[in-house]
Each structure stands twice: as C-alpha cells, then as structure tokens.
Amino acid sequence: MHYQVGQLGRVVISRFEDREDVLGNLVSIAKKENIKAAVIYVVGGMREARIVVGPAKEELPPVPVWRELGESHEVLGFGTIFYEGDEPKIHFHGAYGKGDSVKVGCMREKAETFLVLEAVMIEINGVSAVREFDPLSGLTLLKL
C-alpha cells in the first residue's frame, strides 16, 4: 500500500446542459482552473455513455467488457482527476439506471448529458500523485 496525505482546496460546482460532453467538460475545468488533483461527484442524467463493466477474465492485461447506455439513464458516481504528463486523466465509476435496469461501471469514453447533470469537483492540495502507464496491466494507474 502507498498513500499520501493532502488538504482540501477549492470546490468547483458545475452544471452541464443537455447533450454536453461530461468527461471533456470536467477535463476542461481542471485545465482552466489548474487543478492537478481532485475528487469528483456527479449526479443527474446521461443519454449516451460507454462504460467498462469488468474484465472478460481475471487475467493481466485485462480485456475490458464494454457496454453502451444508448438512451437516457439516471447517474450517480464518483471519480478522481490526476495528471498523466500534461493532461488531466479522469477515473470515474458510476451507477447508471433506467427503469429496473442498473449498470455499474467505469466511464471511459463518450459521455453525454441528458437534460442536466451536476458535478462537484473538490481539489486536493499537497499531494504529488500522478497517473502513469503500467505495462503489466496495460492501464494508466495512480502512482504515489
């Protein structure tokens, strides 16, 4: 186990309108506000998203199992932002529900707002955490 202790910094509250790019807007906020590390809470609706719902098998490197929302879903989720080189990278997991169907997974690609989505980004100061490519897993992982 590795860990660092930081302090809470600024809090950024955002509202995304219908059909806006969720991941792109979160990255844009992090860049504009020069936020190097943060946690993100999201609540609202999404009409499109591509999520990973687990590996096909428990082996390295994992082969992701993809699902697409393809229509409006309620969403509740949590994520982090840390930089990989000069770019903020988001790691976000959420629950996506429509009627009696619920999917839980890691949002990695396109994500589009349905009607409205709210996000709260809380900056973490005093840590040197970054994301780096891990050749064993084939993933970009947190490095402390």
Whole-model pTM: value is 0.94
Q: Which residues on neighbouring strands pair with residue 117, listed in sequence order?
A: 16, 44
Tell me if 96 sits within 8 A of 72, measured CB to CB.
no
Instruction: Judge contact between 36 and 57, C-beta under 8 A.
Output: no
Confidence of residue 101 (pLDDT cuts 50, 70, 90): very high
Q: Give the pLDDT score at 109.
A: 85
Q: How does pLDDT run across 64-80, given as a tens digit for each residue?
A: 999 999 899 999 999 99
Average pLDDT, the chain: 96
Q: Which residues contact 10 (CB under 8 A, 6 or more apart)?
A: 33, 35, 122, 123
Q: Residue 81 corresponds to which tokens in the numbers above?
A: 């932002």
Q: Are strands 130-134 and 139-143 parallel, antiparallel or unpaired?
A: antiparallel
For residue range 1-53, what is the model confidence (pLDDT) as tens digits? 999 999 999 999 999 999 999 999 999 999 999 999 999 999 999 999 999 99
B/e letters for 75-95, b = 16+ CB within 10 Å, e = fewer, are bebebbbbbeeeebbbbbebe
Domains and their CATH numbers in the chain: 8-124 (3.30.1330.80)
Is 110 a residue whose pLDDT tops 90? no
